[in-house]
Chains A and B, each alone.
Chain A
Amino acid sequence: MEIAVLIKPVPEAETRLRARADGTQLDAEGVKFVLAGYDESAIEQALLLREATPGSKVRALAFGPAPRTEEVLRAALALGVDEATWVESPAEGADDPGIVARALAFALARVPHELLLGGKQAGDDEEGLVTAAIAESLGIVDFGTVVNLRVDSATGSLTFQRATEEGVESWTAPLPCAIALQQAWNDPRTAKLPNILKSRKMPIAKIPWAEVSAALGEAARPRSVAERFELPPARTGAKMIEYKSPEEAAETLVRILREEAKVFP
């Protein structure tokens, strides 16, 4: 099976967020970028499927600027991905999900992809649009919030479950198919040192933005543009409820929720 995994560099979860001087977006200066958590899970899933289906290949793709995009692709190679493709992003408009999807769909013309895997959403913009938009570009089905993904070796079809508002759905889908995984249920592996060293020497195929934008034409013009990036006022810590008995704690909390917070039904 030919598996393509979409990955994205995102700021570390512990990053102290701040806006750029012009206030339009996150100030990326000094921020450490890592593989998004859902993407790590997607790579793990891809590697497990490769192990279960001899002859499979796993290829990672990422869209973004240097050097962070190359770094997460190296991290994917160190985890055991076979090949990596870097789709270079423009200086501006790199966060328009429509452009991200079209750029990756363009790159996928060169990367075999019976199964396209991604995370449910990245830990930064949380759009969760890109996998669906790529699937639309490719004319294939897509499913989000997927867990328990398996390949039925008899039919070659995928089986999986989805946790939606309606409950847990069980699905069977033939390839090709795009899947956005729900979560790190598969406990992603960590890279071993020899593999990290080996990954530094592995080639990464690069598709320059000039080539992508020429292919996209008018669609390379951003239509979703960041105007402001704001941080909420810091929460000042909880108001602690004093009590002498559990009953008193319960009564006080219920009264506060009703009269002060006004959230009680």
Chain B
Amino acid sequence: MTPSILVVGERLSGHLTSATREAVGVALGLAGPEGSVVGFLAGSSLALSVTEFGELGVTRIRTREDPRLDAAGAGAIAVSVVASAEAVSASVIVTGGTEFGRDLTGRLAVRWNAAAANGVTEATWADASALRVRRPVYGGRATETRRLTGPRIAIAIRPHAFAEPTAGAATATTEPDSGPEIPDPLLAARRSEVAAAGSSAGPALSDASIVVSGGRGVRDANGFRLVEELAASLGAAVGASRAVTDAGWRPSSFQVGQTGKAVSPQLYIAVGISGAIQHIVGMVSSRVIVAINNDSTAPIFRVADYGIVGDLFQIVPALTKEIRRVRGLPAN
């Protein structure tokens, strides 16, 4: 069996995202020693990411140089992705499960007529042309296994579910994709502005390996700063419960939960969050959960691995100080 797998590269500030790197690892695993993995990049100034693909062991890259695709929706990019998949006779297209990757995979279900799945945490061959995938459902409260039947399969993998590959450095060569013209309606939307996420300079919420979230217990917008200082000491992303975003202490982009973002970091620290089911379903699939709350009966302690019952206004600054100390950061 010699499967050909296409990995769609997504870039953030010119670099391949960690989600794309993880997708490369999945693709290399599915390709096996006999198969091949081909990268795909669209937009302008692609050279840096071509090199990065090479460093991960992907040496053949399909490129669509088109500055219009730097700020286009997944629909426009799907046109070129499918043309490249056909050109390399791909049987599987893998993307990182970011907002873009999930959107693209939905488009590919129709445009490429693929069996498609998002949020994949395991992917193995069920037979020569079918994949068996596992994915968390119901906010991580259950896991389903699905069989995706080829010959065309598109999956978006869940961030942090897979390790980045360590393959040695290699030089990648590019092949321009001269696929079909992108229909005008798919390019008509315009992105006018990108504001940095949140107020902290930390990583993006859905992509972070550590998330520190604050809830009603922080009392007001000012109290939320303690949460952000703790996050900064850990290099973590900042999240919030719905109580915080509803009160306007932080924008809705911070919200973790059923009606916000679902996160699954290695470490999730819940500060002053009681643990309504609304919030739990957005974070319960985190690997290790720590809860800090003054109410020992708060439901959050039922899903947490470690708990501290106490006044967050005392515990959190002490924790921030201790973390800065052991990490060798200056006290602030």
Binding site for B on A (CB under 8 A): 11, 13-14, 17, 25-26, 37-38, 41, 96-98, 101-102, 105, 123-137, 139-145, 147, 162-174, 177, 182-185, 219, 223-232, 235, 237-241, 243, 245-247, 249-251, 253-254, 256-258, 261, 263-265
Give A9 to B147 CA distance when docked, in angstroms: 24
Interface centre among A124, A126, A232, A245 (most CB of B within 10 A): A126
State A168–B196 Cα separation when bound (angstroms).
6
In the complex, A258→B325 CA distance in Å?
Answer: 14
B291 / chain A contacts, CB cutoff of 8 Å:
238
Q: Which residue of A lies closest to B105 (CB)?
A: A129
Other 16 A-B pairs with CB < 8 A, given A225-B149, A258-B326, A265-B234: A17-B138, A37-B259, A96-B115, A126-B136, A127-B119, A129-B106, A142-B73, A142-B74, A142-B75, A143-B73, A165-B19, A169-B194, A184-B259, A230-B144, A240-B307, A261-B288
Q: How far is the CA of A183 from the CA of B252 in the complex (A)?
A: 8
Q: How far is the CA of A102 from the CA of B115 in the complex (A)?
A: 13
Give the distance to chain B from A49, nearest Cβ to Cβ, in Å: 17
Select the stretch in B41-49, B58-66, B85-93, B310-318 that faces chain A.
B310-318
Looking at the assembled complex, report how far the CB atom of A4 sits from the nearest CB atom of chain B, in whole angstroms: 17
B17 within 8 A of A: yes
Task: Give the residues in chain B near A96, CB-CB below 8 Å.
Answer: 115
A interface, by DSSP: helix, strand, loop or mixed? mixed
Interface Cβ pair total, 8 Å cutoff: 295
Candidate in A11, A102, A165, A263 with the most chain B CB atoms within 10 angstroms? A165
Report how far A96 CA is from B106 CA in the complex, Å: 12
Contact bitstring B73-100, A, C-beta under 8 A = 1, else 0: 1111010000000000000000000111
Determine whether B294 belongs to the interface, using a CB cutoff of 8 Å to chain A: no
B192 at the interface (CB under 8 A from A): yes
Chain A: CB-nearest residue to B314: A246
Contact A13 B281 (CB under 8 A): yes
- The answer on a CB contact under 8 Å between B315 and A246 is yes
A26 near B259 with CB under 8 A, answer no
Which listed residue (A127, A170, A239, A250) contacts B193, Cβ 8 A?
A: A170
Q: CB-defined interface of B226-261 with A at 8 Å, one 1/0 digit per residue?
A: 000000001100000000000000011101001111
Please, which residue of chain B has its CB at the minimum distance from the CB of A173? B189
Question: Residues on B close to A: CB < 8 A?
Answer: 12, 17, 19, 73-76, 78, 98-100, 102-107, 109-111, 113-119, 132, 135-149, 183, 185-186, 188-197, 204, 206-207, 210, 234-235, 251-253, 255, 258-262, 266-267, 277-278, 281, 287-291, 296, 301-311, 314-315, 317-319, 321-323, 326-327
Q: Which residues from chain B contact A139 at a C-beta distance below 8 Å?
A: 183, 185-186
* B290–A224 touching, CB < 8 Å: no
Pair A140/B185 contact, Cβ less than 8 Å: yes
Nearest CB in chain A: distance from B288 CB, A: 5
Contacts A165-B12, A172-B190, A224-B146: A133 and B107 contacting too (C-beta < 8 A)?
A: yes
What residues on A are CB-neighbors of B109 within 8 Å? Answer: 97-98, 101, 129, 132-133, 136
Q: A26-B142, A101-B106 are in contact. Are A256 and B259 (CB under 8 A)?
A: no
